[in-house]
Structure formats: C-alpha cells, structure tokens
Amino acid sequence: MARVYRDAAAVLVLDGGLQLCRSTEPLATRLMRVLTSGWMRRLWTLQESVLSKELHFAFADTRVLMKDLIPSTADIYIYAHLGDLAAELFRLMKRSSYGSYSIGDVARSLRWRTTSRPSDETLAVASLLGMQPSVLVELSPERRMIRLIQAMGRVPRNVLFLKGGKQQVPGFRWAPTSFMAAHGGSSGLQLSTSESDAVVTPQGLEATYYALLFPKTTFEGGRPWQLKDTKTGRLYAAGDVQPGAGSYTCDMVLTMNSIQPGSATSCVGVRKNGQHVKSNGTFTVYCECQRRLVLNSVASLREDSTEVVVCHVSGELSVCVG
C-alpha cells in the first residue's frame, strides 16, 4: 500500500465525523475534527497521510487540502492555540514538503493511534523509514521492532527514558516494544525529532549521558532512596516508577543531562559489566538496564529510614546500555 499512496496524484480521506463538519467552520473547529477523527487514530492511515503528494479531507460541503488547514505565521502569533492544534498535521507533511521524517516523528505520530493487530505496527511504519516491510514479515512480532531499530542504525538517545514496555532481549532492553500508548508504548516523554545521537550496536545503545556512579546497591522495588553526590555537593531523591516490579541492583544512574537544582528528570538505574578502551584512549562503559527512575534534586536529605547512597564520581560518560 505504501507504493500506492506514494505514486497517487492525490489521496481523499472519507471520515464520517469530518463529513459532518462544514469547511466554513472556524479553523480551530476543523483542526479539532481532524485530530479527533477515527481516521487520525488508526495505525494504517499514517502511511497515506505521510506518503501522499496531496491529501484531501472530505468535509460536509467540499474537499479541503491538508496544507490549507495549517494556520499562517501571523495567525499562530495572534492565536497560539492554532499552532498547537496544527502541529501534528504539520508533522505529517514533513516528508512530502521537506523530505524529512525521522523515527522521532514516527513515534510521535503513533502515540495516540491504535490497531486491532499490534503486531502490524512495524509493518505499517517500515516504509516511512526507508525499510522494506517484507524484511519483517517472517519475524516474530517481538523481533520486528528490534530489526527495525537495527536497520535505523542511529536513534535519539532519549529513547532510553521512554515510558512503556521494553524488550527483554539482551542488548536491547532499552528498546520500546511499541510506540503506541494503547499497546504499551510511551504516554509520557516524547522521542526527540531533531537528533539521532545514539548508535545501535549488538551489545546495546551507545551514547553519552550524564552519569552518577556509586557502590553496587540492591534496592527494594517501589521504595524511594536518596543519593549524595560528593563531587558537586548536590542531593537527590530517587523514585521507582515501576512499583511492584521487585528488587533491583545498580551502581550507576544515567540522565540526559546534569539536573538543575530544584528540578526532576527521568533516569535509568543500570549495572556496570565492563568497559572498552578505544585506540584513541577514550573508553565506553558497558552496562545493563535495571530500572526506570525519577531523580529529584533536593535541598536536603530526609531524616528517616530512607536508604542513602554516596556518589563520588559524576559527569558525562560514554556508555553502551544493553
């Protein structure tokens, strides 16, 4: 079907909800109709919206080009909400208008879509990322996402912090099982659309993160703990976002960047299992994902029974997370 949409002169969207709306309604109303339509929430319609040269919506009285629903810069300046409403439609036009459509765009476009066959997710988006779906057909549903990510080669490094289900295959425990929230994908942090700054390797995801290192410690699942960074003097409270998942052991916490005082961020607790020294003298630390956490920068530590671990080393670090 991808080839059909790509080669078609135009694609017409027929949706019952849209056909109840007149083209003379305010722009905000028309945008809301499109965004909440059944067409917009289905997995397989993503192909026709991204690949078509011209996409037309059938309203009650006429057809309207998708690009004509994008507000002007002047309108966005005056009515900021129009820009927010049109953001997803603009994303769908990126490939046809600018030749750009990243894995981050795919993930964001899939977020609120659903399907009766979750195993079709990678088949539906492979062609949008330059991959032949036929390569995935014979694989098990669990392996399709891994194969798709391998074919990408590079992904945004904040993929490590996405909520939702994760793969259980060694080397890919950082990878999502789905990008659709309805099928276990992320409903929180969104995948970056600007940079693919992490390398996918058989051993894991290689990238640079801000790291806090401490002695190997086993934590009880669901219980908060505290961390004292002696290098910077900062204090943190760590919260487990996977209650009921059992105990976990880690000796390092990874975040996207250093945490500003008084703020909180998603992070991952990992366990080191070796390092590789490169010919130029730099090195990469190998580690395994253990638990998704939230790290809060606090002014003081709680004076109760909450466990406190001491970190003597912190800063940017090249890691390979498996």
Residues 14 and 55 in one domain: yes
**Are residues 9 and 111 located together in one domain of the fold?**
no
Residues 149 and 78 placed together within one structural domain of the fold = no
Number of domains in the chain: 3
Quick one: 197 and 230 in the same domain?
Answer: no
Domain boundary among 201, 235, 267: 201
Per-residue confidence (pLDDT) for residue 187, from 0 to 100 = 67
Question: How far apart are the C-alpha atoms of 143 and 151, rounded to whole Å?
Answer: 12
- Collapsing DSSP states into helix, strand and coil, what is residue 31? helix
DSSP label of 166: B
For residue 225, which phi and psi values (nearest 5 degrees)?
Answer: -145, 170
Q: What is the pLDDT of residues 6-54, one digit of tens each?
A: 889 999 999 999 999 999 999 999 999 999 999 999 999 999 999 999 9
- 58-104 pLDDT tens trace: 999 999 999 999 999 999 999 999 999 999 999 999 998 888 899 99
Exposure string over 250-278, b if 16+ CB within 10 A, otherwise e: bbbbbbbeebeeeeebbbbbbebeeeeee
Written as one string, the DSSP assignment of 57-96 is EE-SSSEEEGGGGSPPHHHHHH-HHHHHHHHHHHHHTHHH
Report which DSSP code applies to 145: H
Tell me: do 304 and 214 sit in the same domain.
yes
- Considering the domain architecture, whether residues 229 and 303 belong to the same structural domain is answered as yes
Domain closes at, from 70, 98, 126: 98
Q: To the nearest 5 percent, what fractions of the chain are helix, strand and coil?
A: 30, 30, 40
Across 164-184, b (16+ Cβ under 10 Å) vs e yields: bebbeeebbbbbbbbbbbbbb
Q: Determine the structural domain holding residue 216 and report its residue range.
A: 205-321
* Amino acid (1-letter code) at residue 178: S
Residue numbers of the chain with a pLDDT score lower than 50? none
Q: Are 107 and 91 in a shared domain? A: no
Residues 9, 83 within the same domain: yes
In this prediction the pTM is: 0.89
Could you tell me if 211 and 118 lie in one domain? no
The residue out of 201, 224, 250 marking a domain boundary is 201
The verdict on 168 and 254 lying in the same domain is no
- 22: three-class secondary structure by DSSP: coil
Measured over the CA atoms of residue 311, residue 201, residue 135 and residue 91, the dihedral's sign is: positive
Do residue 253 and residue 190 come from a single domain?
no
The mean of the pLDDT values for the chain is: 93
Examine the domain organization and report whether 171 and 274 are in the same domain.
no
Dihedral over Cα of 12, 13, 16, 18: its sign: negative
